[in-house]
Amino acid sequence: MHSKKKFIVLNPAPAYHLEDEILKKINLVIPNEHELAILTNSPNPKNLDELKVLLKQKALELKNKWIVTLGEVGSIYMDETNELFCPSLQVEVVDTTAAGDTYIAAFLKKYLESKDILGAMQFATKASAVTISRKGAQESLPYLKEIV
């Protein structure tokens, strides 16, 4: 697909290490902070500053885009020149089972419509907040009308 100039997104779950030659072919990588460490064969970042350094290094080396989901902290976007942060929404957490899948699906829906990264991150954060406030996986996924 890379050779056909398609926009390729990778959510490395379950996490596994990938060589940089493969990662260079991915336009947008969306791991959580633990998957990021495994995927890049790096130590698990101890704090947000370490995570930013690792993300910036990978974005510059691989010339791609990254969003790392950080659970109750929020999410961070990094490319070669930009850094964006989207804080999480405070809700009563019932079940986090489908939070990552919800985030990615909602982000891509909004991003592919608008090309607005921060707006898509905010939309995905709202969707995930609904999901974690409910029990279960599929039954916890929000309808579009619950997010907008």
Q: Which residues lie closer than 8 Å to 130 by C-beta, 6 or more apart? A: 91, 102, 140, 142, 146, 147
CA dist., res. 124 & res. 110, Å (int): 8
Partnered with residue 25 across adjacent β-strands are none
- Point out the catalytic residue in the list 20, 49, 79, 101: 101
CA dist., res. 40 & res. 108, Å (int): 23
Q: Which residues lie closer than 8 Å to 128 by C-beta, 6 or more apart? A: 88, 99, 100, 102, 103, 106
Which residue from 91, 95, 99, 39 is spatially nearest to 75, judged by alpha carbons? 99
101 catalytic residue (yes or no): yes
DSSP code of residue 93: -
Which residue from 67, 72, 71 is spatially nearest to 82, judged by alpha carbons? 67
Query: Which residues have a catalytic role annotated?
Result: 101
